[in-house]
Every structure is written in structure tokens, then in C-alpha cells.
Structure 1
Amino acid sequence: MLWIKALHIVFIASWFAGLFYLPRIYVNLAMVAPDSRAEYERLLLMARKLYRFMTLLAAPALALGLWLWLGYGIGLGPGNGWMHAKLAVVLLLLAYHFWCWRLLRRFEARLPTHGHVWFRWFNEGPVLMMLAAVLLVVLKPF
């Protein structure tokens, strides 16, 4: 079980690296001058590759988490309300991941998106969700 936990943590940390960095690329995309096609395309290529990579990292992170939860019974049974809250955070992370994909599609189509300041705030979402998940898992407050 410790191998599964260790790998779960590694894949979660790697997935979060992508969730932290992709919106930073979006900040830069939102700031590109309309006449700077080469810069826009370079940033768009980086965003596509990063999204693909972080999706590949999310899959084993989720699978290993399910294995720990259902296979080893971590968080099952009475007195494990923290797990329900953590699962809610995981669902929020998946929604955020999907939202990143939708934003990427808008950038690819050169449709209007938000300004760079909005993306700077958008980038704070994974930080707050990571904080919540870690506190729930470590402290098990309920």
C-alpha cells in the first residue's frame, strides 16, 4: 500500500505542476499583441503540450487514489467525513482541468477570452484546492 500512496503523491504533485503553470501561459497569451502571430503560436503550442501532459498525469493520479480508497478502504466507514470533502475537492479539480481545456480551445480559435488579470486570479484556484485537500488528508478534521 505504501508504494501506491507514494506513486499517488508523485502523480498528484506532477498534475498540480501543470495546473499551476498552464494558467500562467494563458496570462501570457492574453497579453500577446494582436500582430505578434509567432509569439501567440509558440505559447499556444506550449499550452497544448502542457495540457496533454498534465492530462496523462491526472489519469494515474486518479486511478491510484481510487485504488487507495476502494481497494484499501482508506476513508471508508464512519467518521471519515473528511474523505467526502476531499472527493468534492477532487471533483472541483477535475472541473478546473476541464475549464482549462475549454479556455485552450478558445485561444486556439482566437475567440475572445478574459484579460491577463483575470487569468492571474484564475491561477490561484489550484493553490486553494491543493491547500484544502492536504489539510483534509493530514488533519482529518471530521
Structure 2
Amino acid sequence: MNNDLGWMLDDALQVPGARHAILLSADGLLRAHSAGIPRDEADRQAAALAGLQSISRASAGFGGRQDGVWRQTLIEFADSYVFLVAAGPGAYLAVSAGESVDMESVSYRMQKLVDRLGRELTSPPRLDAGSPA
């Protein structure tokens, strides 16, 4: 994994109290991580958070709709939070934060980052695809 998108994840951490950010695939592979989290820890968290997302999605029926589309999971600990959101087809963005973080600001920054990541991860069509067939 190269960490070409890591610099973009650092932007989500501009909210006071935000700690780390990772971009992961649905199968738990790390795609990018912010500067402050070691690669090994980011890999471990990517695997765990993919499982969490799967469990969250499977519980849609508990919310009243069997066909509910998963959007976000929030985990609250005694002194911290983990936010997990969809970041495109088969990709998720996770941010960890301390207990005093402005949760609305983190969610807003994450959604803005998801918009930017979508543009970065999508390849534009080639204009000169070669000679006609």
C-alpha cells in the first residue's frame, strides 16, 4: 500500500480533539492513513472496522427497515469516539477522536472529505483511447 491519499485524511483531523483517520476497503484492507497513526495499527483497525461496518449493516432490520442503507456507525467509549462512514463503493472512512470533540464538526469534515475522496478515486475517461477499431 502506498499512502498517496494520507495527506487528504489529515484534513479530517483539523477539528480539535480528532486523533486519527483511516480509509479502508469493505474487506478490511487499509487504503490510506493519517500521519499520526503507525501503519501496523492502521492495518489492525482497518480489519476491525470492516467487521464493525458489516455488523452495523446487518442490524438494519432492528432499526425498522430490512432494506435500510447503512450510512454511519458511531462508537462511544468512556473517553473517546470512533466515527465510521461510507466513502464510496466498497470504501469506508474512520476517524477517532477524544471525548471533548465537537461531534457535528467531525461528521461535517468527514462528509466533505468523502466528497473529495470520491473525486480522487474516480478516474476520468480517457479522451484519446487510441485508434478507432
TM-score (norm 2): 0.31
Q: Of the two structures, which has the highest relative contact order with CA contacts closer than 8 Å and spacing of 6 or more? A: 1
More helix by share: 1
Larger-gyration structure (1/2): 1
Q: Which has the larger strand fraction?
A: 2
